[in-house]
Amino acid sequence: MTTTATLGCRVQADGVSKVVDVTTLLPPISLVASAGSCVVVRGPNGAGKTTLLRIVAGLLAPTTGTVTVDGEPADERRRATRENVAALIGPPAAYRDLTLADHLTLVDATWGHDPGTCADRVAEGLVTFGLGDLAERFPHELSSGQGQLFRLALTWFRPARLLILDEPEQRLDTDRRAMVGHLVRARCEASTTVLMACHDPVLTASVADEVVDVGGPA
């Protein structure tokens, strides 16, 4: 599986909150994720985990506080944020007329990788997530678990120094969850910083360097 060899990002959130009208989506919270570490965010449903991840990914502006990635504000409109941050927060918009292999090929090409070896990287990317036999399927032909693996494969496939995952374990069986745990640890060992929300205590224990509770203990 292709991973970046560059140092992961340092993420710092100071007093970040999100309020819409009178509804508090995320109470103020602070966290620091050092380069190459895995920080797991826990909390009950509705605590604001996804909101926090969206803010760190630069997809949402905080109401209070700041989030920086390597000292720069997290804002997906900035080129540096888009280059450094890969995120799986909700299903990405897939092309209904492309197969799984085509999707990975497209992502690979847009990052300017060598066309001559693209097919090998695509095959490896699918095999890593157990999707090698499904390369010619369209996304709408996958089961819910296979769909989640495909979304993970897409997110993993693009270069990133910060990987943000919102409940990557959802819809996966025990073996696949363990596989995701191994892959997360491998990314951290390759210096990628990982920030993820997770409801699975086993997976959390296997990957977390630090656990942050949002909205009280999980």
Partner 1 sequence: MTASEQRSEDRARLADVTHVLHGPDGSGAVRQVLYAVYVLAILALTYGFTVSRALFITSDPAWVRDRLLSPATGCLALLLAAALAVVVHGAGRRRGPVVPPLPWVDHVVTGPLDRSATLREWWLVSATLLVAGGTVGAGVVGGGLWASGSAGPTALVVALVAGPALGVVLAAAWLIGQVGAGERSEAARAPGESDPRGRTLLAPPATLLRSLGLPELRAQSVRSTRLGGAVLAGDLRAARLETATPVRRGRTLRLRSRGRLATVVARDLLGLRRQPGLLLSGALLTVPGAAGVAWSLSDPDVPVALAVVSLMATYLGAGVWAEGLRLLGDTLGTPALSGLGLGTEAGVHTVLPGALLVGVSVPVALGVRALVPATAVAVGALVLWVLGLAVVVLAAQWVAAFRGRPPLLAFLPEVGPTAMTFWFARPLVLCALTGALLTSRAAELGVSATSWVGLGVTAAGAGLWAWRTLRAAADEHRV
> Which residues of the shown chain bind partner 1 in the complex (CB under 8 A)?
57-61, 75-77, 79, 82-83, 85-90, 92-93, 95-99, 101-102, 105-113, 115, 118-119, 136-138, 140-141, 154-155, 158-159, 164
Other CB atoms within a 10 A radius of the CB of residue 133 amount to: 9
Handedness of CA 98, 120, 142, 43 (dihedral sign): negative
Residues counted in the chain: 218
Residue among 43 and 62 whose Cβ is closer to partner 1: 62
65: left (phi over 0), alpha (psi -120 to 50) or beta: left
Rg value, the chain, Cα: 17
Shortest approach of partner 1 to residue 153 CB, angstroms? 11
Residue among 141 and 210 whose Cβ is closer to partner 1: 141
| Sequence-ordered strand ranges (E) for 114-192 | 162-166
Residue among 46 and 111 whose Cβ is closer to partner 1: 111
Residue among 61 and 202 whose Cβ is closer to partner 1: 61
What phi and psi, each to the nearest 5 degrees, are found at residue 213? Answer: -90, 130
State the DSSP H helix or E strand holding residue 188, giving kind and residue range, or none if neither: helix 174-189
Q: Residue 32 CA to chain centroid, in angstroms? A: 17
Residue among 165 and 207 whose Cβ is closer to partner 1: 165
Residue among 141 and 173 whose Cβ is closer to partner 1: 141
Query: What stretches of 57-117 show up as alpha helix (H) in DSSP?
Result: 79-84, 100-110
What phi and psi, each to the nearest 5 degrees, are found at residue 141? Answer: -100, 10
Shortest approach of partner 1 to residue 175 CB, angstroms? 26
